[in-house]
Chain A
């Protein structure tokens, strides 16, 4: 059971938009910054979003992040087949004094 809650799967057609939610509590998302990671099949996770809504260099602007209260959302527009991957949210949990992840969401581009 993950500390952060994500939907197990989402899907959308190429070119469409998808959002992935991440729900937490006041001791993690409600108090700290959220980051998002993309894990392509058979590879290590890669940073997509940091500090709730910032993109590292090389991440396209069709990728976005937001946070409100104890929830965060990852958005991807202009979906491509290459976006098919598992997506994880993560943050520091102040009560646990540990990093926590969501359970991951599998994105399927139909």
Chain B
């Protein structure tokens, strides 16, 4: 069974204080690893897809990296508007059914 573990559960940063969120995973045949941002009371917002170890993607202050066992979401010089819960998910399996498994998320709070 595919598993996704995110750490830490919660993270509090001062504005401008860079840090990283971790997503450890076990999956049978990785088809893709996804990062989402979720604001309270809203649906997840897509950020990145990573497909293979060594791949990196960037968007503004966010950078996602991938190894064979984990992914990191690096946040550089965060701002208060980056406060949200960040979800990691993996898609595994072969054939026609490729289920996506989500982690429980890291709740990020950026303090001005």
A complexed with B: no
A-side interface residues toward B, CB under 8 Å?
Answer: none
Interface residues of B, Cβ cutoff 8 Å to A: none
